[in-house]
Structure 1
Amino acid sequence: MEIFPGTGVHLVQVGDRRTEVESRIGGPVHDRSSKNVYDTAPMLIIHYAQDDRVELVEIGYSGSGGEEVFFDGVQLTYRFMDEVVSDLAAKGHAGTPSDIGVTFQAGFSVWSMGSLWAGDLDPEADEDDERSIVEGVSVAPYSYWDEG
């Protein structure tokens, strides 16, 4: 699934109304009013503002051969964070580190919650390997993070 920085993905874009989103992808499998999880591949987590418009689109990793998230020819999810950041930097996309990942001025963030470990990608990794794996991507205008 390709992201459109600052905007979203093909199925859901910042500013879409909840009714529009659900007419395209169906209802949520987990409804938490402002943050809903949808059964798509890869999984989408949509954050809604009080006016029921999309303010943030999150896309989770699939892993094990499932569909992953891409931008500018770079696979973002289910890869080592350092490799993703390096590949994006080589294409001119600068990022700012955060507590769980890296935010890019183009309007997206890659992150890890630490639920995967290096051995999931590298069978030769030892148990002390601290490399983080990108587990998800958040897409919104950069101001979403810059003002936060």
Structure 2
Amino acid sequence: MDIIPGVGVEAVKIGDPRRDVERGLGPPAHAGNHRRAVYDSVDPMLVVTYDEDDIVELVEIGYGIDDQVYFDGVQLTYRFMDEVVADLATKGQFGSPSDIGFDLRAGFAIFSMASLSARDLDPDAPEDDPRRVVEGVSVAPYSYFTDDQPPLDGTDEELDAWLRKRGMLPAES
């Protein structure tokens, strides 16, 4: 399954109403109108977070049984975190580490909740191998993960400085 950074996946996009999501994916696995809904009708499974108006604000995709999550030809899930981050960097995708993974400026995050170990990917790895395995991907605008909001009520110069600091505009010469 391919992600669309900052947007979601083909089946579910940020800003979609719940009724449209459920029309396409069917009802969530757990009955009720919960803020977070699990849709196991696809592989990999989708977890969608809705806001108070039942509009999609976050799309999460776990590693799959038969399929994995990709971006720009890079397999994101069911791989070692460091390898994924390195592959993304070679494609010009950068971000910042978080407590459970890595938040990418393009508008997604990769994460590990430590339910998989290095031995799941490398049977010869020692039992205490510290390498983390990417278990899922969250898709939303970068600011969703960082609370780093641009100064929208500031001057053009302040906005440009904010963008430059984050590598979204070239440095001044």
Q: Shorter-normalised TM-score: what interval?
A: over 0.9
Q: List gaps (5 residues or longer) in structure 1.
A: none
In structure 2, C-alpha distance between the alignment counterparts of 1:53 and 1:69, rounded to whole Å = 23
How does the TM-score come out when normalised to structure 1?
A: 0.96
Q: Between Structure 1 and Structure 2, how many residues are aligned? A: 146
1:53 maps to which of 45, 49, 55: 55
Cα distance in 1 between the residues matched to 2:64 and 2:119: 16
Higher relative contact order (CA 8 A, sep 6+): 1
Tell me what 2:44 maps to.
42
Instruction: Report the alpha carbon displacement of residue 147 of structure 1 after superposing the two structures with TM.
Output: 1.6
How far 1:48 sits from its partner (Å)? 0.1
Query: Quick check: which one's helix share is greater?
Result: 2
8 Å contact from structure 1 (residues 85, 95) kept in 2 = no
Output one character per residue of 1:20-57: Cα deviation in whole Å (capped at 9) or x when no partner.
00000000002561100001210000000001000000
Give matches, 1:21-100, under 5 Å. 21-31=21-31, 33-39=34-40, 40-63=42-65, 66-100=66-100
Q: Deviations over 1:57-83 (max 9, x none)?
A: 0000014xx100000110000000000
The TM-score, its normalising length taken from structure 2, stands at 0.82
Larger radius of gyration: 2
Which residue of 1 is the match for residue 123 of structure 2? Answer: 123
- Cα distance in structure 2, aligned partners of 1:84 and 1:20: 32
Q: % of aligned pairs identical?
A: 60
Q: How does 1:126-141 map to 2 (within 5 A)?
A: 126-141=126-141
Runs of 4+ residues deviating >2 angstroms: none
Unaligned runs of 5+ in 2: 149-173
**Cα offset for 1:145?**
1.5
- For residues 97-134 of structure 1, the C-alpha deviation after alignment (integer angstroms, 9 at most, x for no partner) is 00000000000000000000001000110101010000
Give the structure with the larger strand fraction.
1
Whole-angstrom CA distance in 2 between matches of 1:126 and 1:104: 30
Q: Which moved more, 1:26-35 or 1:6-15?
A: 26-35
**CA distance in 1 between partners of 2:131 and 2:11 (Å):** 31
RMSD: 1.1
